[in-house]
Amino acid sequence: MLEHLTTETRNEKTMNLDEMSIFDFLTTMNEEDEKVASAIKKELPSIAQAVEAIIEAKKQGGRLIYIGAGTSGRIGLLDAVECPPTFGTSPDEVVGLIAGGEKAFIKAVEGAEDSKELGMEDLQNIRLTKADIVVGIAASGRTPYVIGALEYANSIEAQTVAVSCNKGSDIGKVANIAIEVINGPEVLTGSTRLKAGTAQKLVCNMLSTASMVGIGKVYGNLMVDVQLTNEKLVERAKRIVMEATSCTYDTAEEYLAKANCNSKLAIVMILTGLSYEESLHRLEQTQGFIRQAIVN
C-alpha cells in the first residue's frame, strides 16, 4: 500500500545519492525544496477555506487544535507553542497534540501512531467541544491516530481539517476540509521530515497567522499582541508602538507604561488621545481590532 503514496516513492534524481558529491546533492535537494511553495500554491483555496473555519471557531470561543504523530505532531506543537508569545493567546487557545504525549516530542513513542483509539482519547482528555476546530496532520495521510481523532471530532460535530502530502488521502476523506500538498518524492526515500515536513510547517504558518489576523491580533503587519516576556520583546513592543503611531521612542515607552505593557492599548491611547479606560472600552467594543477602535 505504501508504494502507491507519493511520499514513499523513489526520487529518480537521487537514485545514486550515496555516490553524489556533497555539492551536487545539496544542489538537487535545494531544487526539490523549491517545489514546495509551488505545490502549496495549488492548495491555497483549501487553505483559505480552513482559515475561514478557524476564524469562525475562534469567534465562537473555540480552540484551534493540531494533532499528529512523529514529525507531523511536532510541527503542530511547534506552531501551537509559538502563538502565545506572538499573538498573546492563552496556552489553551491553540493546542498541539502528539501521539504518545509530550514526551514524544523529543523521543519517538513506538506504536502510538497506530492507534485510532488513542487519537480519540487524546481529544476527549482535553474535552473537545463542537466549538473547536481540529487540524489533523499526517504526511502519508493514513496515520490511524489522526484518523481516529478526526472521526471523533466529526462525531461531536466539531469542524475538521486534514493536512497531508498525498492526493486522495485517508485523512482528507475523513475531514471536512482537505489540504493535500503534493511535493513529489523525497530526496531520501520516505523521509517525510524533508519536503513534506517543510510543506506542513508552511501550511501551519498560514493557518495560524492568517486566522490571528482575522481575529484582530494584528494591526497593519505589526504583531500588536506580542507578549513582553523578555528585554528583547520589550524593545520590540516599543518599536511596534513607534511604527504604528509615528511617535518617538520616549513616547512609546511612556504609553506602554501607562497601558500596563499592552502594546495594542498603548497604540489606541496615542492615536485617539483617549484615557486608558476609554481606550480599553473601545478595544472591547471592536473585539480587539485597532483599526476599528481608532475610528469608532
Task: Enumerate the active-site residues.
Answer: 82, 113
Phi, psi for 244 (deg, rounded to 5): -75, -30
Q: Is 294 left (phi over 0), alpha (psi -120 to 50) or beta?
A: alpha
Cell of 251: 513616547
How far is residue 201 from each of residues 74, 204, 251, measured CA to CA in Å?
10, 5, 38
User: To 5 degrees, how large is the angle CA 196–CA 1–CA 170?
Assistant: 60
Phi and psi at residue 146, in whole multiples of 5°? -75, -40
How many C-beta atoms surround the C-beta of residue 230 within 10 A? 10
Q: How many residues does the chain have?
A: 296
